[in-house]
């Protein structure tokens, strides 16, 4: 047994959270899954408590999932964890880095600044400017700034006409406030998830869509399959994830007629794709990585 007390920040009962907690318990004898909805931050003392556990007394925490859905509230939870990090508790990954990816605009702006190829994208509050982007793209996807698994995304086509698209845009704006309009990319029925651990390449899997959805997410019926990535493609994924400093992540890549493009870098990465698509227990590997970092004092 390794004498370390490491908690998992996640969703109690969810497979990815629990399997990581299982591996940590097997190595350390300590198990703690933290639901951020029940964490209390004492601003006068700087202490964070989860039920009867003082998080400041732990050796580290692994942030597997900050909430069921991305929202500005997730940013608030990360700010609380920054207080924990400031007290000397190691966080994997660092809350500040995770926070850069919770908001879609901040994450993709960092990728664009890093010279990573992305689908053409326009961000605006102007309905007229958003309509112009749809006309220029021909077909576009309207994306909420806070969402995962394609939830809340709307496909818009120029041929549907200005009046139809204007109404869809106004409905979207009433809920989300800002237009993030991205040119529709033909995925050819699949996209890729490229997994990195501690900045090093681990594996690549494909998400293959069913016949009923424009996107490939498992949430919409997609299936995982193995994929052998080329060295050039791996280098693209490495470049994308290097825009951030994450202990574990997945880079979403699409292969288009004009070459590969990156959709996003995941704030947390997924264990299921690595397991079902590549036969790799990424939770075990992340656990080993964290323990090595803590043992080495890094």
CATH number at residue 40: 3.40.50.20
In a domain? residue 292: no
In a domain? residue 115: no
Q: How far is CA 252 from the centre of its chain?
A: 9
pLDDT of residue 212: 56
Two tokens, residue 168: 């869809």
In a domain? residue 99: no
Last-in-domain residue among 47, 75, 92: 92
pLDDT of residue 203: 97
Spatial distance between the Cα atoms of 120 and 122, rounded to a whole number of angstroms = 7
In a domain? residue 289: no
> Both 24 and 86 in a single domain?
yes
In a domain? residue 114: no
> Quick one: CA dihedral 20, 25, 28, 33, positive or negative?
positive
pLDDT of residue 223: 87
Smallest CA-to-CA distance from 181 within 133, 253, 216 is with 133
β-pair type (53-54, 47-50): antiparallel
DSSP 8-state symbol, 215: S
Summarize pLDDT for 162-180 with one digit per residue, the tens. Answer: 999 999 999 999 998 899 9
> Both 198 and 163 in a single domain?
no
> Both 84 and 13 in a single domain?
yes
> Both 208 and 239 in a single domain?
yes
In a domain? residue 291: no
- List the chain pLDDT tens, one digit each, 298 residues: 789 999 999 999 999 999 999 999 999 999 999 999 999 999 999 999 999 999 999 999 999 999 987 878 899 999 999 999 999 999 999 999 999 999 999 999 999 999 999 999 999 999 999 999 999 999 999 999 988 777 889 999 999 999 999 999 999 999 988 999 999 988 878 899 999 999 999 999 999 876 655 555 655 557 899 999 999 999 999 999 999 999 999 999 999 988 999 999 999 988 999 999 999 999 999 999 999 999 987 5
CATH number at residue 125: 3.30.1490.20
> Both 169 and 192 in a single domain?
no
> Both 12 and 73 in a single domain?
yes
Last-in-domain residue among 51, 74, 92: 92
DSSP 8-state symbol, 64: S
Count of domains in the chain? Answer: 3
Range of the domain at 53: 6-92
> Both 27 and 83 in a single domain?
yes
> Both 207 and 135 in a single domain?
no
Smallest CA-to-CA distance from 270 within 218, 234, 235 is with 218
> Residue 65 in 3-state DSSP?
coil
In a domain? residue 69: yes
> Both 12 and 70 in a single domain?
yes
In a domain? residue 177: yes
> Both 190 and 280 in a single domain?
yes
CATH number at residue 208: 3.30.470.20
Last-in-domain residue among 133, 164, 183: 183
> Both 177 and 192 in a single domain?
no
> Both 196 and 162 in a single domain?
no
């Amino acid at each position: 047994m390794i004498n370390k007390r490491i908690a998992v920040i996640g969703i109690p009962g969810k497979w990815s959270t629990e399997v990581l907690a299982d591996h940590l318990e097997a190595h350390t004898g300590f198990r703690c899954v933290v639901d951020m909805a029940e964490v209390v931050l004492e601003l006068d003392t700087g202490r964070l408590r989860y039920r009867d556990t003082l998080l400041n007394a732990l050796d580290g925490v692994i942030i597997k999932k900050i909430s069921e859905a991305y929202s500005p509230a997730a940013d608030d939870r990360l700010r609380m964890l920054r207080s924990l990090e400031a007290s000397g508790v190691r966080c994997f990954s660092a809350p500040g880095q995770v926070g850069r990816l919770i908001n879609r605009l901040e994450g993709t702006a960092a990728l664009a600044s890093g010279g990573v190829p992305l689908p053409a994208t326009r961000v605006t509050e102007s309905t007229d400017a958003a309509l112009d982007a749809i006309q220029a793209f021909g077909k576009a996807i309207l994306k909420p700034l806070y969402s995962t698994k394609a939830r809340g995304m709307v496909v818009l086509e120029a041929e549907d006409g200005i009046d139809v698209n204007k109404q869809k845009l106004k409905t979207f704006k009433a809920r989300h406030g800002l237009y993030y309009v991205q040119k529709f990319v033909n995925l050819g029925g699949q996209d890729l998830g490229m997994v990195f651990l501690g900045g090093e390449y681990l594996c690549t899997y494909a998400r293959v869509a069913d016949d009923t959805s424009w996107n490939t997410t498992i949430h919409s019926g997609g299936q995982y399959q193995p994929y052998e990535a080329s060295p050039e493609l791996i280098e693209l994924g490495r470049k994308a994830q290097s825009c951030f400093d994450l202990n574990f992540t997945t880079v979403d890549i699409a292969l288009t007629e004009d070459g590969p493009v990156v959709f996003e870098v995941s704030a947390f990465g997924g264990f299921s794709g690595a397991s079902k698509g590549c036969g790799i227990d990424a939770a075990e590997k992340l656990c080993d990585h964290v323990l090595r970092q803590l043992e080495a004092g890094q």
